[in-house]
Amino acid sequence: MTYCVATRLNQGLVFLSDSRTNAGMDQVSTYRKMTVFERPDDRVLVLMSAGNLAITQSVLEILQAAIEDENLWTVKTMSQAAALVGAAIRRVHERDHASLAQHGIDFNCSFILGGQIRGEPCRLFQVYAAGNFIEAQPESPYMQIGESKYGKPILDRVITPDSGLDDAIKCVLISMDSTLKSNISVGLPLDLLVYRTNELRVSRFVSINEDDPYFEQIHHHWGQRIREAFAQLPAPDWSTMATEASRPVFESMIRSADQ
């Protein structure tokens, strides 16, 4: 499994993905989930994938090898780019879904596509296994794929379109750290890419390993602050919490002495 998260902010976009792949407890390996399509001063497209690795690799190969008139290097809008990702997914599904089903394997894949093409604003999409997609909105300025549940609470509490890029970086790293803590199917190294609106080139990218000092600082301090905040919470006050009206109905069975 994997975990990928991206945010769309007024200042730009932040992308973070892990690199764990596994097909069982004894078949764990590393494979990069982030692919960047960059033509400086024209476009930056970032594609992240989750799901069956053979399926996502096939989709990516179609997108990278496309020689048709319309491909990721020629489309004029990000929505057209998202539609191309969806079309590639459907091509793989048409080719492979029957044989996968014969072996009891679900057609499982999902993608996050974000970036900017000259002439339009930064945009962020999530593309599903059916090839359809949705776009991030101000009310929901982030996207997640893979093992998303562990890292969602911090995103809901912190991320807004007005968040700064540095705050978003901290937030997605905490989101990833929470996921790493709770799920062994997500693992290092991580790929972090930050894109500032209208730059039309990648200027901030880093691969994060176990010895990365900033990520270790995030991991240590976040865990410590959570424990401190928990310790400062008051104990339950039963005099204000419990009332006769709120009591549940207790059923009991009294056995007679001769039973």
| pLDDT given at position 241 | 76
Determine if the pTM surpasses 0.95. Answer: no
What's the pLDDT at 27?
Answer: 60
> What's the mean pLDDT when you consider all of the chain?
92
Q: Percent of the chain scored above 70 by pLDDT?
A: 92
Q: Choose among 105, 68, 106, 112: nearest CA to 86.
A: 112
What pLDDT shows up at residue 24? 55
What confidence score (pLDDT) does residue 238 get?
Answer: 81
Contact indicator for 198, 22 with CB cutoff of 8 Å: no
Query: What is the rounded CA–CA span in Å between residue 140 and residue 125?
Result: 11
Mean pLDDT to the nearest integer, 28-54: 94
Query: pLDDT category, 125, cuts 50, 70, 90?
Result: very high
What confidence category does residue 184 fall into, taking pLDDT thresholds of 50, 70 and 90?
Answer: confident
Could you give all domains of the chain from N- to C-terminal order, each with its CATH number?
3-213 (3.60.20.10)
Position with higher pLDDT, 245 vs 44: 44
